[in-house]
Amino acid sequence: MPPVITLLLGVHAHQPVGNFPEVIEDAHQRCYKPFLHTLHAYPDFRFAAHFSGWLLDWLRERHPADMELLADMVRRGQVELFSSGDTEPVLAAIPHRDRVGQLQVLNDKLAAWTGVRPQGAWLTERVWESAVVPALAETGIRYVTVDDYHFFCTGKTADELDGHFSTEEDGRRLDLFPISEALRYRLPFSPAHEVIAYLENLAEQGRGAAIYFDDIEKFGIWPETYDWVYHRGWLKALIEGVLASPKIRPATYADFHARHATRGIVYLPTTSYSEMNEWTLPMPAARHYADFVAAEKAAGRGDLHRPFLRGGIWRNFLSRYPEANWMHKRMQGLSARLAGIPNPPSDLVDELYRAQANDAYWHGLFGGLYLPHLRRAVWNNIVALEAALDALQARPALAGLDADLDGKTETFAHNDALQLVLRDDGLGALHELTSYQLRHNFGDTLRRYREHYHDKIGSGESRHDGEGIASAHDIVRFKHPVSVEDIVPDPLPRAVFLDELNGATITDYAADALQLRRAGIAKTYALGGDRLTVSWHLSGLAGQHFITRLNLAMPSCDGFLGRYVLADGSIPGGFGAPLQLAAADRLTLDDGVLGGKIALLASRPAEISAAPLKTVSQSEAGFEKIMQAVELCWAWEIPGDDCTLHLHLDITPQP
């Protein structure tokens, strides 16, 4: 008998909560549908699949016939469905009670749909912290997949990683399958015959299993893959090659797990896949890390020293990006409030879980945090949940605490319509401006950061050798023209009501709740219904130049749906275009996507200017410039040594 290796192939399908429907539809047509239809024709090719619960609901509602193919493959034993948190949270980043709840939701959903309760779970972004073990075990999960890199960090070698291992936390057991990075980089980019030859060579070496579990989007959505995988027949060639080989046997994880004993106990460090460990580092640490790894590879020591080159951990994103940390800590606070309500309404639990979806909290090869519509989806649910909790359990109209653990006190002021959050950081600006009616945070902006991948912008080179197609990791492309000026980092947060005097940003405000003072200026915030009023009493500053700068997150970028409206009803342009007004006291920002508007009224005519704030990020399709906010400036020459300026913001739904 020839040596035989078991191929444990798994695919992970996910779309972010709040992603555009047309994007999800395109993903289905170019990836999920052809993949399922192709595999359905080969019942002997067994594999595993994970569809995040939110995406599964979307697909079952809109494409029931296609998804029935998947259910049919489950019932005939061809496919094993993996669970996870329902909205695809990073389990380590949410409270234990929510880990359990999220897992139970998807476990129950899969069991009700297919009649089979899941034994395995997909670990979002393979973020491993041992604290997640009890929740997984408590919900009936027996095993998860992580990267082989996790095991290398414990001293294991590649030759040992052809089966599953066991770990425990507080006496709760969980088994672990190590995903092969070598396979991740071959599928689907290497020609099918090379993949078959690679697997057969592993069999001849006596390996028991080849373990693969990775994004299904690589099979049709990543650049060039749709034509390669389906039109040029890569997927069929792989399936038929595996089935024809006497040395390869495809199986589900459940089958393998039932037939093979654990390889022994292992305790993994806190880590994720190796690319993530670079992405989570800020500059210049990310550059130093990448240069060090490259130097080790060039010296032929890459594989030898790789386990000791750790980089950062996923939670670093929360310290690296204050915007992500603010969302995260706001979510955590609401989770604690919800946990204090006996038998909370299910719609509130759903809103919390949607606010825990991982995508908007971090950034790597994909847009993530840089994509405003993903952050907006998190904030939509945070705001809706907070309003519902306030209706059930009132909180003080004014309160101060260090909500994001940055050492500075945030003052929360709210009424039934609006909430503002003022941080005692010397800027005297708002870091959150929320409308409960619109379920929107106008302070949900993102400053420009220096990113390690910006170094690639000048090269314009893509790396790929041999047959097959290039991975998105190796491609340098540009969706939009990018200049050096576009990647200059911001020294300060993109907050609302940042003040300047004679061209210098004021950074020395002393705060007393909603009252701020510094030499010559007393600034006050006041809420009344759906109106926010900001006042400045200016003393001894006659003839000096005063500016307040509002960075406002407007969902519409340009055109008819996102437009400026003047006092006479005229429309000078959309949010994506610059605006200059010589002397005006009124301006309305009308946003059709938001379904609301901000009407601004000043007590004294000002010079008004506006421009789109754009950041440069990378995605699998290349470098792109993304509009994060409208940067709106109101400028006055101070008319006297004792004067007061008022700026009113009326935030209301469109009629």
Contact status, residue 289 vs residue 311, Cβ threshold 8 Å: yes
CA 279 to chain centre: 13
Contact status, residue 8 vs residue 205, Cβ threshold 8 Å: no
Contact status, residue 583 vs residue 615, Cβ threshold 8 Å: no
Is 215 an annotated catalytic residue? yes
Contacts of 80 (CB under 8 A, 6+ apart): 46, 47, 48, 49, 74, 118, 119, 120, 252, 253, 254, 255
Which backbone phi and psi does 175 adopt, to 5 degrees?
-95, 150
Cα separation, 375 vs 361, whole angstroms: 8
Give, as one character, the DSSP assignment of residue 500: E
571 SS3 class: coil
| Residue ranges with strand state E in 381-429 | 398-401, 410-414, 418-423
268 SS3 class: coil
As a dihedral over the C-alpha atoms of residue 310, residue 312, residue 315, residue 319, rounded to 10 degrees, the angle is: 160
Residue 269 CB neighbours (<10 A): 13
Q: How many CA atoms lie within 13 A of 325 on its CB side?
A: 14
Of 25, 168, 215, 350, which one is the catalytic site residue?
Answer: 215
∠ CA 15-18-21, nearest 5°, is 70
Q: How many CA atoms lie within 13 A of 148 on its CB side?
A: 23
Peptide bond into 34 cis (omega under 30): no
Dihedral sign for Cα atoms in the order 487, 488, 493, 496: negative
Query: Amino acid letter at 80?
Result: E
Pairing of the two strands 47-51 and 79-81: parallel
User: According to the 3-state scheme, what is the secondary structure of 376-395?
Assistant: HHHHHHHHHHHHHHHHHCCC
CA 146 to chain centre: 20
Pairing of the two strands 172-179 and 440-441: unpaired
Which backbone phi and psi does 280 adopt, to 5 degrees?
-80, -10
Which H/E stretch holds residue 136?
helix 133-138
267 SS3 class: coil
Which backbone phi and psi does 526 adopt, to 5 degrees?
-145, 135
Of 80, 88, 125, 631, which one is the catalytic site residue?
Answer: 125
Q: Which residue in 143, 172, 160, 173 sits closest to 209, CA to CA? A: 160
Give, as one character, the DSSP assignment of residue 158: G
Dihedral sign for Cα atoms in the order 360, 363, 366, 371: positive
Cα separation, 652 vs 282, whole angstroms: 39
| Catalytic sites, residue numbers | 125, 215
